[in-house]
Amino acid sequence: MKREALSKRWPWVPLSLVVLAGTGALAVPAAWAVKAQVEAERGEPAPDAAVAVYLLWLSSGDDGGLRRVLAADRHDDLVGQWRAYRAQMSRSAIPPSKLESGPLQVDHVRDGVALVVTEVYAVWWHDQASQTGSRHPWHFEVREDRGGWRVWTVKAPAWCGDYIRPDRC
């Protein structure tokens, strides 16, 4: 009788081992994904890093990486502002190839609030030559939020009128 019971249980032993191994194999990617999400939610390590990431995503035209650098309380407003600015850039007679910025100057870091100023300019590529637009100052208020620095406000010059003549928008 014991031999018969053992033979009925035998197929379950390898199956159980396979299930346990599969669960362990799935746990590693799941843990990595959770860790990556937590790190992405932290914000940036410094005020100028948050501004650099914001400008990088503005230049690329992809808002996928904005979440980690925008203050949670202002997220919707800032994404709306970002999208409206990108829309103006895209509607230009000749949209820029990219945006560049000068050095990021961090001022007045107090009580978790910093002001960051940089000059931003557009670059247009035509065949193998490039043309650089005029530089205009951008002002950012960046705040320490949930363990990292995040953009709270953006004061940018108008795309149409400052960077591009109004008749080219």
User: Which residues on adjacent β-strands are paired with residue 71?
Assistant: none
CB atoms within 10 A of CB 135: 16
User: In tens digits, what is the pLDDT along the chain, a chain of 169 residues?
Assistant: 556 655 566 666 666 666 666 665 554 554 444 444 445 567 999 999 999 999 999 999 998 889 999 999 999 999 999 999 999 999 999 999 999 999 999 998 899 999 999 999 999 998 888 999 999 999 999 999 989 999 999 999 999 999 999 888 8
Both tokens assigned to 138:
């951008």
35 and 49 assigned to the same domain = no
Judge if 17 and 90 occupy the same domain. Answer: no
Q: Are residues 18 and 32 in the same domain?
A: yes
Q: What is the pLDDT of residue 14?
A: 62
CA distances 12 to 5, 19, 20, 21, 149, Å, are: 12, 10, 12, 14, 53
Q: Please name the amino acid found at residue 99.
A: L
Instruction: Quote the pLDDT of residue 10.
Output: 60
Q: Quickly list DSSP for 131-147.
A: EE---EEEEEEEEEETT
SS3 of 169, please? coil
How deeply is 133 buried, as exposed, middle or buried, from its count of CB atoms within 10 A (0-12, 13-18, 19+)?
middle
Residues 113 and 126 both lie in one domain? yes
Looking up tokens 């379950």 gives 12
Question: For residues 141 and 115, is the Cβ–Cβ distance under 8 A?
Answer: yes
Domain that holds residue 28: 2-39
Same domain (yes/no): 84, 134: yes
What pLDDT score does 16 carry? 65
Q: What sign does the CA torsion over 161, 163, 164, 169 have?
A: negative
35 and 98, same domain (yes or no) = no
Both 86 and 13 in one domain: the answer is: no
In a shared domain, residues 27 and 58: no
Report the number of distinct structural domains present in the chain.
2
The pLDDT, as a whole number, for residue 109 is 85
Task: Name the one residue in this structure whose structure tokens are 């080219």.
Answer: 168
